Amino acid sequence: MSAEAHAPAQPLEIQPHDAPVGTVKPLRARTDTAEIDSTIIHPGSVKINVKGAFIVDQEPSSPPGTLRISSSAGSHDTKDIRLPNHTAVVSHIAVDIGGSLAKLVYFSREPLSREPGGRLNFMNFETDRIDDCIDFMKQLKLKQQKLNGSRPGELCVMATGGGAFKYYDKIREALGVDVIREEEMECLIIGLDFFISEIPREVFTYSETDPMHFAEPRSDIYPYLLVNIGSGVSMIRVSGPREFKRVGGTSLGGGTLWGLLSLLTGAKTFDSMLGLAETGDNAKVDMLVGDIYGTDYGKIGLKSSTIASSFGKVFKMKRGEESQAEESPGLANGSSVAESSEMTSHSEDVDAKDSRPPFSDADISRSLLYAISNNIGQIAYLQSEKHSLSTIYFGGSFIRGHRQTMNTLSYAIKFWSNGQKKAYFLRHEGYLGSVGAFLKRQPRNWGRRGSFEDGIVPQMGTQARDEARSSSPVMDYPGS
């Protein structure tokens, strides 16, 4: 790649020291023809205009002029992010390939619409079907001209996650384009910082009484703990824009739930497993505090509905069924063969009904979902205590906006912290890494409100930085 693609963006022009304190020149407009040509050829120079960005809630149909690329294997997340003020060319896409899912982000214009700008689109594919994801990226390459005005040969793929290494040669050979691999943890943090600080109605808290209480975008976001729940779980302490450390995790994550439920139930997909959990009753499988005490255990703050032992009733019920089968009477003395046959047939029918477990696949799904979520919630709380962090963000494709999962994680944080800490969730929780990789193609710090390079911050007051931002909606932060 040429040096131009990595050239630093133009920094804010600071007034000389004899100028009035706190004044800056406005960011310059990109009007030079050669510079525009360079921007088109080298997408690393493109700046994304996020002024007025908003999440597109579920649409009954695509708006006029919206270009969609269909895929029978991928799942299109309808929560696109509209960028109404961005009109420049974007010649790259980003993919985060994990152990279970590959998450794709790409930009598209709305050329036939009367509305300017474009949108960020979100797709996911099962990693086992990575060929379908690559085929979709081929379509994006072929339709680049209509999507965002660039030529097919200019496409660049930003890749992160373990699959960025595992499938690097496969993607490069199939697409015939540059594939740039980015560090996974850094991409997660960049993506989360962007969502926290720039996108309205993205971050929220969850409770049964207030299911989606949105938090306003803000700039004072550090420090915090990110709990990223994918196939496994990583817990990352974030102290600043590029200051982070993985402090812990657990192997019991989304892959554990997926694997065990595929063995224990007839569900074939992760979404169908979550659907089963919606209708299940974990009390038929789990041993509750009420099963032991007959009531609440108020002295230590445990309700009767609190889970004392996940799957704690299963062994007792199974042992009871086996004992009952052993005690069943054999042939009655003096019975004829015909009578015996009739009795056997009737007995088999009764046994078939009696052999059905007193719990369903849905009950098992709900119980295991609670077990995994409670475990993650408690470990997250302990890590937040150890590192003195009061703000905890939960991300990753395990959550998927599933209310029982969010409620369990929220309750765990609230319970163990005595209400002193909150669990925060995101509407694009599964796309932190892919969005981070997408932004990595931008100048460093794009998407981080107020995160200027060292050496510039001391010369600018808060008012001056605000004036600089208001003078231009394009996020043209210094550095690259």
CA dist 40 → 48, 155, 410 (Å): 13, 11, 45
**From 40-44, 115-119, 321-325, the region with the lowest mean pLDDT:** 40-44
Split into its structural domains, the chain has a count of: 1
- Model confidence pLDDT, tens digit, residues 131-162: 999 999 999 888 876 666 666 567 889 999 99
**pLDDT for 424 beyond 80:** yes
> For the domain that residue 102 is a member of, what is the CATH number?
3.30.420.510
- Please, what sign has the CA dihedral across residues 311, 316, 318, 319? positive
Residue 442 confidence class, pLDDT cut points 50, 70, 90: low
Q: Would 303 be classed as within a structural domain? A: no
CB 408 within 8 A of CB 134: no
Q: Would 189 be classed as within a structural domain? A: yes
Q: What is 160-213 written as a DSSP string?
A: ESTHHHHTHHHHHHHH-SEEEE--HHHHHHHHHHHHHHH-TT-EEE--SSSS-E
Q: Would 331 be classed as within a structural domain? A: no
- Give the model's pLDDT for residue 466: 43
pLDDT, averaged across the chain: 76
Q: Would 235 be classed as within a structural domain? A: no
In this prediction the pTM is: 0.73
Q: How far apart are CA 451 and CA 243, in angstroms?
A: 12
Q: Would 409 be classed as within a structural domain? A: no
Q: Would 211 be classed as within a structural domain? A: no
Residue 475 confidence class, pLDDT cut points 50, 70, 90: very low
Q: Of 429, 473, 445, 466, give the one whose Cα is nearest residue 55.
A: 429
- Give the model's pLDDT for residue 224: 97
**pLDDT for 29 beyond 90:** no
Q: Would 434 be classed as within a structural domain? A: yes
- Give the model's pLDDT for residue 293: 87
Domain of 32?
3-197+430-471
